[in-house]
Chain A
Amino acid sequence: MSEIRFRDVHHRYGERVVLDGIDLVLTEHRIGIVGANGSGKSTLARMINGLVSPTSGSVTVDGLDAGRDGREVRRRVGFVFTDPDNQIVMPTVAEDVAFSLRRSGLTKPAIAARVAETLHRFHLAELADHPAHLLSGGQKQLLALAAVLVRRPAVLVADEPTTLLDLRNARRVADVLAGLDEQLIVVSHHLDLLAEFDRVVVLDAGRVVADGPPAAALPAYQGLYA
């Protein structure tokens, strides 16, 4: 597993403090991040991928600075957003997955083979030529996952991947996430999704207020609003 390290990370948007002195070392296979809206969890997740740079402090992935070495970090860390519609670029399912490999240096047959394998893995093979924007919400999120994982990142960060989905589709995406070999960091409000994870970090007002196995951290989170 990769080592993701936050060193005294502070972040603010204007006057609003979003992260306030985060020190974390994430090395477990499956890590959940929970917290109320505005607690800073999405900002924290984006920092792992270098999409947001801290106001002060540093975030590293296997020793690479997520801000300075952003491109190299993004090759190691894939990111799935809440709304897959914002992540889909190409008109059809197979083309969108192939888009992720456009600058990979692979030959066309190698790209086609990798895309076919990935679509099969995510049960999207029969939808390869289907218009991506006409997929169901669950299928779109699976496509977003496939489009990220086709690059074979070591780490996958998912920011509320089931928030916009109905119960059936949320379960489907959760099952796929549970079966991934890649290191997984999931921001979620769905606590049952994180119940089997190795570690859960609880954020409140930009600070880590609980950190540990789900059996201890999730009740601590629920206790914040009891």
Chain B
Amino acid sequence: MTGNIGLYHPGSSLLHRLPAGVKLLAMLAGVIGVVLLRQWWQLAIAAAVVAALYAAARIPPRVAWDQVRPLRYLIPVVAALQWWLSGWQAAVAVCGTVLIGVALAALVTLTTRVTSMLDAVAVLLRPLRRFGVDPDRIGLLLALTIRCIPLLAGIVAAVSEARRARGLGFSLVALAAPVVIRSLRSADALGEALVARGADD
């Protein structure tokens, strides 16, 4: 279900080889630039540039689509609301900005190993060490956050399957309660495994 979301896609393109810090800064600049765009044709050009970057990184279309697919329910709602409140230009501007921003961020994660990202974060946070911030710990936190995406997706899928197997209809409580309990148990087990693996060295 979430097999291609936010995970490194192996490759040897120029984008794959760029240092993680450069890509993070470029992404930041790109997202700020996109937020400043207002005209539909400006956003179309930005979208074309992002698409070209995906092609240059040799990201398969299916994997690229997986990055923005989770927005398929949110975008129509936001678009309708914006159109109703401010007109179609505003709807295009807001939805285009969100889609391009998410695609850009996903491109960085698809072309950057998590370890490279953590090294970059550790370098960026190094000045904060004097204030008691441990960059390695922050890096570990980010790695665990990324790790939890497929873990939680797996739990939700297993709980949903169990509900269907028992012939039960959809119920938020029936979904949320076991998901929360299993997530907490998984978090507990993951914490124990981290200690066993020497993460507290």
Contact = CB atoms under 8 A, between A and B. Distances in A.
Nearest to B150: A133
Interface string B109-150: 000011100000000000000000000100000011011001
Contacts of B143: 89-90, 99
A71 interface: yes
Given A71-B200, A85-B154, A90 B147 contact: yes
Tell me the dominant secondary structure on chain B's binding face.
helix
B198 to A, nearest CB: 6
Nearest to A46: B192
Contacts of A78: 196
Contacts of B136: 102-103
Interface string B85-103: 0000000000000000000
Contacts, number: 82
Contact of B151 (A85, A95, A100): A85
Interface in A99-154: 99-100, 102-103, 129, 131, 133-134, 147-148, 151
B7 A79 contact: no
Contacts of B52: none
Interface size class of B (residues with CB under 8 A): 20 to 34
A39 interface: no
A85 B154 CA distance: 10
Sorted from nearest, which 6 A-B pairs have the closest CB atoms? A86-B189, A129-B10, A79-B196, A87-B193, A133-B150, A103-B201
7 contacts: A78-B196, A79-B196, A90-B115, A90-B143, A95-B113, A98-B115, A151-B197
